[in-house]
Amino acid sequence: MKHLTILWFCLLTALGFSQTIQLETFASGFSNPVEIAHTNDNRLFVVEKAGIIKIVNPDGSVNATPFLDISSLVGSGGERGLLGLAFSPDYSSSGKFYVNYTDNSSTSTPISTIARYTVSANPDVANTNGETLLTYQQPYGNHNGGKLAFGGDGFLYIGVGDGGSGGDPQNRAQNITSIFGKLLRIDVSGNSGYTIPNSNPYFSSADGPEDPRPEIYAIGLRNPWKFSFDKSTNDLWIADVGQNDYEEINMVNGSGMPGDNYGWRCYEASHEFNTSANCPSGGLSATIAPIAEYPHEGSGCSGSITGGYVYRGTSYPSFNGKYFFADYCKQTIGILTNNGSSWSLAFQSPNINQGWTTLGEDANGELYIAGGSNVYQITDANLSFSAFDNTGFNLYPNPSSEQVTVHLSRLFDKTTSISVYNIQGRKIKTHYPTEKTFRFSVETYQKGLYFVEVNLNSGSRISKKLIIH
C-alpha cells in the first residue's frame, strides 16, 4: 500500500498567508443546497436536499421550473436527503444522469438509492421516471455519504458512509462484506442496471451474504462528505469527516489502486482510534495516510470538512493546482498548495461566513461554494498588478471600496476612454482621461466583481478585473 507524506500543520488564522479569497454572490434563493454540478455547458445544476434540482444560468438567474423534482421520493432532514448528482460523460448524446438519495420509507433507518434518470426533449427539464440501480438500508440515520462522480475511467464512483451512530460500533468500514464506509465503483455504460468493473478488488466475489461486496473500490471511510477527480490529472481527492478530533483529506495519484484502505475506524486521520479488532495487519503503514489533516478546536461543532476541487480554471492563475475545500463548522475555506515534496495547508475566513455544504466547478474549471441559501463564486481578491505589466496599465488599490487609481503606460497615448462594466456586462461608467494617471470614485458601487476596459482609438480594447468590497 502507498503511504503518502502526512502534512499536519494548520494555519488556522492564515498567519503568513495573504488573503486571496473573495466570495461573490452568484445565485440566490435555494433551500439547503448540497451539491453543484454541470453538463459541460454554461449552466450549473444545484441540488436541494429536499429532492429538487434547479438550473442556474450564466447570469445567475434560476429557472422557475426545476430540472428534476423527486421530493415525493426523498426523505430529508439531518444528514438525509437528495445528496448526490452526476452527469454521464456522454450526457450530450445519452441524456443520462444519476442521483443518490435517502428514501422516505423510514425516519430512523432510511434506504439509500442510486437511480438513473434522463433528460426530456426540453434540455432544462428531466423525465421524472427513473431506474433504480442500487439500494442499501442505512443502519442509522447519519453518515450517509452521498457523493457521486465519474472518474476518468468512465465508471461511476459512490461515496458511502460507515452507517452512522458514533465510532462505527460494528466496524463496518473495515468489513469487506459490508457496503458501508466504502468508495464504490460500478459500470453504468449499459442501457439498464450496472455491471462490476473487472479491476474492482472483489470482482470475482459471488456476492453472497458472507462474500465481499464486488462494488467495493476502497474501504476505511467514515463519512466521505465530497470527493472529486482532478480534471487535469484524474487524481482522487476524498474529504472524510472525522469523529472527535481530526478532519482529513486523502489524495491518491491517478485515482489510486483498487482495494485501498483509508484506515477508519482503526485510525482517525493518522491517529489511532479503535484498533481492538479487524485492523490491517501492517497497522497505520498499511493504510492510505491523509495528505493533510487538522484538529478540532473548541466545543460543539468544532470541525466538519466539506471536500472540494483542485482549481483548473483560467480566471485566477494564482489558484492553479491548489485544492480548495471548506469546513461547515468553522465556516472557513481551506487551501492546499503543492510545495514540490509536500503540501501546505492554510485556512481563510472569507468576506462571507456560512456553514459551507458543498463546492462545485463549472465546465471551465471555475469554483463555486454553497452555504445558507446562496451559491457564491470563489474569486481571487489579489487582482492588483505591478505597474506596466504586460497589459500596460495598473489598477490600485484592488480590491477597493472608495477610490481607484488608473495608471497608464506610454503605450496608451491614443486612449479614447475607460469604461467600467459589472459582471453581467452592463456599462456602469465611462471616463475620458486626459492624463496618464487619474482617479475615480467607487463609493456608490455595489460590492462585487467589475471590469475596467481601456479603449484605444484603433478599436482595440484591454480590460482588467476590479473587486469592490
CA distance 358 to 296: 20
* CATH code given to domain 21-380: 2.120.10.30
CA distance 78 to 72: 17
What average pLDDT score do residues 37-53 get? 97
CA distances from 134 to 106, 119, 179, 188, 422 (A): 17, 20, 11, 11, 46
pLDDT confidence of residue 407: 77
pLDDT confidence of residue 458: 64
Which of 2.60.40.1220, 1.10.4080.10, 3.30.200.20, 2.60.40.1930 would CATH assign to domain 393-468?
Answer: 2.60.40.1930
| Model-wide pTM > 0.85 | no
Residue 334: closest CA among 76, 9, 1: 9
Let me know the angle formed at the C-alpha of 320 by 345 and 334, rounded to the nearest 5 degrees: 25
Please tell me which residue, 5 or 412, carries the higher pLDDT value. 412
User: For residue 16, is it left (φ>0), alpha (ψ between -120 and 50) or beta?
Assistant: left
Q: What is the pLDDT of residues 367-380, one digit of tens each?
A: 999 999 999 999 88
Instruction: Give Cβ neighbours of residue 162 (< 8 Å, ≥ 6 apart).
Output: 143, 168, 172, 173, 180, 181, 221, 222, 223, 264, 265
Q: Mean pLDDT of all residues in the chain?
A: 89
Q: 253-279: b or e for each residue (b if 16 or more CB lie within 10 Å)? A: eebbebebbbbbbbbbbbeebbeeeeb
Say yes or no to pLDDT of 413 above 70: no
Residue whose entry in the numeric block shows the C-alpha cell 502526512 = 6
CA distance 10 to 13: 9
Say yes or no to pLDDT of 356 above 70: yes
Say yes or no to pLDDT of 54 above 50: yes
Domain ranges within the chain, ordered by starting residue: 21-380, 393-468
Domains 21-380 and 393-468 are alike in CATH topology: no
CA distances from 298 to 301, 303, 307 (A): 8, 9, 22
Burial class (CB in 10 A: 0-12, 13-18, 19+), 2: exposed
Q: What is the pLDDT of residues 64-118, one digit of tens each?
A: 999 999 999 999 999 999 999 999 999 999 999 999 999 998 778 999 999 999 9
For 312-340, give the DSSP string: --SS-GGGTT-EEEEETTTTEEEEEEE-S
CA distances from 116 to 94, 128, 148, 319, 358 (A): 12, 10, 12, 34, 22
Please tell me which residue, 6 or 376, carries the higher pLDDT value. 376
CA distance 173 to 218: 10
Partners of 347 in the β-ladder: 334
DSSP-based three-state secondary structure for 286: helix
Quote the DSSP letter at residue 269.
T
Which stretch of 127-141, 168-182, 341-355 has the lowest confidence by average pLDDT? 341-355
Residue 248: closest CA among 190, 292, 282, 281: 292
Q: Evaluate the omega torsion of the peptide bond into residue 295 and state whether it is cis, within 30 degrees of 0.
A: no
pLDDT confidence of residue 229: 97
pLDDT confidence of residue 410: 59
